[in-house]
A and B are shown apart, each in its own frame.
Chain A
Amino acid sequence: MTVPNLDFSIDRNSYQRWKKRWLAILVLGLSLQISHLAWQWQTLEGMRNNLESIRNRAMAKAVDRESTALTPQQRKSAQALQEMLSHLSVPWEALLAAIEASRNKAIVLESIQMHPVDRSLNINLNAPGFTELSEFVGLLAEQDLFLGVTILSETMVDSGKNPLRAAVRVNLYSAF
C-alpha cells in the first residue's frame, strides 16, 4: 500500500514509550525464563550426580558381596576353570597348521604361548638370519587366521646354525 499511515489518534511519544516498555517486559520475561531453566538444569544435574553416586555405592557393595561370597580356594578354582575354557575355545589345529605353512625348514620354534584373553599368541624361535625371520613373519601375516604379526624382540645369541633368537606376537581374528 502506497498511502501513508497518517493517524492523529496514535500518540507517537506514548506509542514509542509503550514499545520500549513491551520490549523491556519481553527481555525481562525471557531472562526470567532462562534463569528458571538454568536453575532447573542445576537441580536436575545435582539429582543426577546424587543418583550416580548412589548407584556407584550400590555397585561397589554388590562387587564386595560377590567377592566375599567366594573363598580364595574357590576363586583359584574358578580362574583355572575360566582359563581352561578359554584354552578349549582356541582352534589349535588350524593355528598350528597355519604356523607350519609359514615356517621355513631352517627356523626352529622353541615355544608357543597362547593368551586366550586378548586372543594373541607368543612364538619364541631361532632363525639363521633376519631374512628368514622376515619371510616367516610375512607369510604369517598372509594367513587368514591372523590379524597382525609383530616382532617383539630379536637377539644374536651365538655363531651357531641359528644365531638369531626372536620373539613374535601374532593377533588372532576374534571370530576364531
Chain B
Amino acid sequence: MNLYAVNSFRKTIEAKADQFLALLRPPIYALVAMQGVLLSGEDNAPPQIFKLEPSKKKLEEQFAWAVLKLIELLKNSNVHGRRVCVYVSDYWARPLTLPLMNNILKEDEVEIVLKAQFRRRYAQPMDDWAWCWEQQGLQLSAVAWPLAGLNQLRQGVSGQNCILGKAVPLSVDVSRQTAVHQANTWIAIVETASITLIRQREKSWECWLVIPADTGVAKCLSVQLKREAARRNDDCRHISLTKLSGSADMALCRKELAAAGWTVSMALAGTSKVSNGYRLSEILAAQGRL
C-alpha cells in the first residue's frame, strides 16, 4: 500500500466523520434571492451577503451564477462539516399543480405526467430542469429548478464536507407559517421581481403560479386573481399577503384589493414565530436598504 492510498483513505474517513458530525451541529442557513445571496453566520458571526445586480441573462444562467456566489461565500467563511439549509427565491422556480384522475400514481408514471405537463405549461422541453413533487390526495404539486445550478449547489456543499440539509423554494417555507392560521385562502408572496400566487385549500395546493411583478403588485395580483378565480369557478375572496422584498407599497396594495372585493390579511406582520426563509429575506432586505 503506497502513501497516496493511505492519504486518500484518511481523507475519505475524515470526510465521512465530518458528514456524520454535521448532523449533530446546528445548521447554517442560506438564501438565494434575485437581489442577493445571504449566508447566515457561523456561531453568532454576522451574515455574509453578496449583492446580485439585475441581469438580462437566461434564468438558468442567473441561478447558476447566484449559486456559484453562495458556494464562494461558503468557502470564504471556511465552513466545514455542517448542514446547510438553502432557501431559493421563487423567481427561479417553475411551479406546477395538477389534479389527478387516479388515486395513486407510480413514481415513473408521475415523472412522465410531469414532464408532459411542464413542457405544455412552459412551452419548453425542460431537459435542463430538475423537479421534485409531492402527491396530496388527488392533487400533485411540483416545482422545477434549473438543473445546472442545482447540481452546482449539491457539489459545492459536499465539496465543503457539508450536507445539503434542505433546498426548498422560499414560498414553500413562508407559506408553511400562513397555512397554520388560514386553511382556505389565496396566498400571495411578494418579492422584488416576482409574485408567487398560491390557492390553498384544506388539504392541498390547487394553484401555484409565479408571475412577474412588472406592472405593480396590486394590478398584477388583481388581474391574475380575477383570471384564476374565474377559471376555477372559485368563490374564495380571502387573500393573505406576505412581502419578502422589493419596494411595493403593501398598504396601497391592500387598499386596492379591498376595493376590488377581497378580504386581505397581512401574513407574518407582527408575529414572532416566522419561518427561517422569511427571517433571511428580512435581513437581506435590510442590508439592501443600508
Contacts and interface: CB of A to CB of B under 8 A. Distances in A.
A8 B107 contact: no
Interface residues of A, number: 12
A63 B79 CA distance: 86
Contacts of A158: none
Contact of A16 (B86, B107, B168, B183): B107
Contact of A7 (B107, B168, B175, B200): B168
A10 interface: yes
B155 interface: no
A117 interface: no
A9 interface: yes
B205 interface: yes
B168 A8 contact: yes
B172 A6 contact: yes
B170 to A, nearest CB: 11
Nearest to B175: A3
A10 to B, nearest CB: 7
A9 B88 CA distance: 12
Nearest to B86: A9
A8 B133 contact: no
B172 A2 contact: no
Contact of B145 (A1, A5, A8, A16): A8
A12 B183 CA distance: 28
A3 B167 contact: no
A72 interface: no
B120 interface: no
B136 interface: yes
A8 B172 contact: no
B205 A2 contact: yes
A5 B134 contact: yes
Contacts of B205: 2-4
Interface in A1-57: 1-10, 12, 16
B209 interface: no
Contacts of A3: 172, 175-176, 179, 200, 205
B179 A2 contact: yes
Q: What class of interface size applies to chain B in its complex with A?
A: 20 to 34
Contacts of B240: none
B107 A2 contact: no
Contact of A2 (B130, B136, B142, B166): B136
A43 B249 CA distance: 81
B202 A12 contact: no
A2 B198 CA distance: 12
Interface string B164-200: 1111110010011001000100000000000000001
B167 A4 contact: no
A105 B132 CA distance: 108
B250 interface: no
B55 to A, nearest CB: 23
A5 B134 CA distance: 7
A4 B168 contact: no
A1 B136 CA distance: 10
* Residue of B132, B133, B183 with most partner-chain A CB within 10 A: B132
B23 to A, nearest CB: 13
A2 B168 contact: no
A9 B134 CA distance: 14
Contact of A6 (B86, B134, B183): B134
A8 B131 CA distance: 8
A5 B164 CA distance: 16
A31 B33 CA distance: 51
A9 B176 contact: no
B179 A6 contact: no
B150 interface: yes
A147 B76 CA distance: 104
B202 A2 contact: yes
Interface of A: 1-10, 12, 16
13 contacts: A1-B179, A2-B203, A3-B172, A4-B134, A4-B136, A4-B141, A6-B172, A7-B132, A7-B166, A8-B168, A9-B86, A9-B164, A12-B132
Given A4-B172, A9-B165, 11 more contacts: A2-B203, A3-B175, A3-B179, A3-B200, A4-B134, A6-B133, A6-B172, A8-B145, A8-B168, A9-B86, A9-B166
3 interchain residue pairs of minimum CB distance = A8-B167, A4-B141, A4-B134
